[in-house]
Amino acid sequence: MVAEPLSHRLNGPDGAPVVVLSHALGSSSEMWDEVVAPLQTRYRLVRPDTRGHGRSPAPLGPYAIADLVADQLALLDELAIARASFVGLSMGGAVCMLLAATAPERVDRLVLCSTAEKFGDPDGWRERAATVRSEGTEALADIAMERWFTPEFVLQEPGRVAHTRGIFVATDDEGYAGCCDAIAEWDFTERLGEITAPTMVVGGRRDPTVAPERSQALAAAIPGAALALIPGAAHLTAVSHPQELATAVLAHLG
């Protein structure tokens, strides 16, 4: 566990039901900025910076997804939050899956966005970690933007893409690499049936990282899970399609 609590942002009224928003690898709590407004009238939002990201501590890696879960539970304990709903995107979705399976008493509802039970070849993630440790996050920034956003979005919203790229490049090199190590070891395929919280899976129809058929398969493997696919969206739906994502989240959280 990190030596000090995760940096975090709070939005919404005290006393409202709590929703924790868990961001993607190479991003930060800022990723959710445009999703906040539609949600904060009904919910108390907790937006942590994952270890090694944003303003949170960046201990030496490697990390495990279980470490990221422990960090989030420690933050909830610090905030005296016994139970919450969880929304996670990509790596954040992996954190939410494991948390829901291992601490079901802490989870009301679950929204899993642009995420999967396994993220490709482990060796590829270990190579990515090695690249960042030797060359920095800048070496991967352009490739990440190509996967996070469609070409049309890049042309239409260059400012938002540049801002997101800036957050990626500012991510601590060891923090990013340590999380790559965690993703390399992530394989939840045989444990999806352990998720008992009411779940919605949200995917982008043009996501090159988690193809829509993989979102469909994830929803089918989690007992009772619902599915929503956002037309025209690539991977980082919280930035490219915040209103559509917020609408899906609100529909599921009720």
**Fold for domain 8-253?**
Rossmann fold (3.40.50)
Predicted pLDDT of residue 178: 98
- Encode pLDDT of 66-81 as tens digits: 999 999 999 999 999 9
Token pair, residue 175, equals: 């923090």
Q: What is the pLDDT of residue 5?
A: 85
d(CA 72, CA 211): 28
Give the chain's residues under pLDDT 70: 1-3
Q: What are the tens digits of pLDDT across the range 162-208?
A: 999 999 999 999 999 999 999 999 999 999 999 999 999 999 999 99
Q: Burial letters for 145-178: b for 16+ Cβ neighbours within 10 Å, e otherwise? A: beebbbeebbeeeeebbeebbebbeebbbbbbbb
Residue 157: helix, strand or coil by DSSP?
coil
pLDDT number for residue 3: 54
Q: How far apart are CA 205 and CA 98, in angstroms?
A: 25
Phi, psi of 120 (to 5 degrees): 75, -160
Read off the pTM.
0.97
